[in-house]
Amino acid sequence: MQPAEEPAVIAALSRAFYDDPLFGFFVPNLLKQSKALASFMGSGVKDARTFNEIWVAHTDGIVAAAAVWLPPGAYPRNVRREAMTYVRTFPTLIYTGKRIGRAMALLGAVDKAHHELHEPHYYLGILGSEPKLQRAGAGTAVLAPVLERCDNEGLPAYLETQKEENIAYYARHRFDLVQKIEITGCPPIWTLLRQPK
């Protein structure tokens, strides 16, 4: 990602999650949901940009897809980065309203599951494609550079997804299902891990 295209990347990722079951559950009001998505995606992009692992695919001069990665050692975040992440994500949490308790419980469970992976790994924090350009290969294009590096360095890759149908997509990239995280009253999240070739 080039610095000047950061706003376009955040906007494309926000649109990519327009039908996300997790955001739809926690922020059912569509206007508030669009604001929450922009806040959440912006937080993830801003946290990752210093590691230079945000990969972007373009089609006709627009952002078609983006993959936001954290390299080995960048997760868990240090105290300063964690505090900044919460500050940047605060608007998203506000939009959840009365569901904030369940949202925090789910985020806590997701973090706990990720902390169980003790070996160095690349973490795919966000992957999204512009809705009108989905299923055109842009997502695969932005995954490829880091997955190739994983193979060359002998390191695994890890991610979470909120859509069960994404499990088959990631399986094509050799990700295996690790765990289904379920918190009462919340949609589930699946964790996946890819071992290097």
Domain residue ranges in the chain:
3-152
DSSP state of 144: H
User: How much is the pTM?
Assistant: 0.95
Output the CA angle 128-12-133, nearest 5 degrees: 70
What is the reported pLDDT for 91? Answer: 85
- Beta-bridge mates of residue 181: 189
DSSP state of 78: P
What is the reported pLDDT for 86? Answer: 85
DSSP state of 67: E
> What percentage of the chain carries pLDDT values higher than 70?
100
What is the reported pLDDT for 134? Answer: 87
What is the reported pLDDT for 14? Answer: 97
DSSP state of 185: T
H/E element holding 158? strand 157-161
CA atoms of 39 and 80, how far apart (whole Å): 19
Q: Domain 3-152 - what CATH class?
A: alpha beta
**Average pLDDT over every residue of 143-169:** 98
Instruction: Tell which residue, 166, 189, 39, has the closest CA to residue 114.
Output: 189
**Average pLDDT over every residue of 2-6:** 96
Q: Cα dist. 4→16, 157, 177 in Å?
A: 20, 28, 36
3-state helix, strand, coil in the chain (%, to 5): 50, 20, 25
The pLDDT confidence band at residue 93, using thresholds 50, 70 and 90, is confident
The pLDDT confidence band at residue 137, using thresholds 50, 70 and 90, is very high
What is the reported pLDDT for 135? Answer: 86
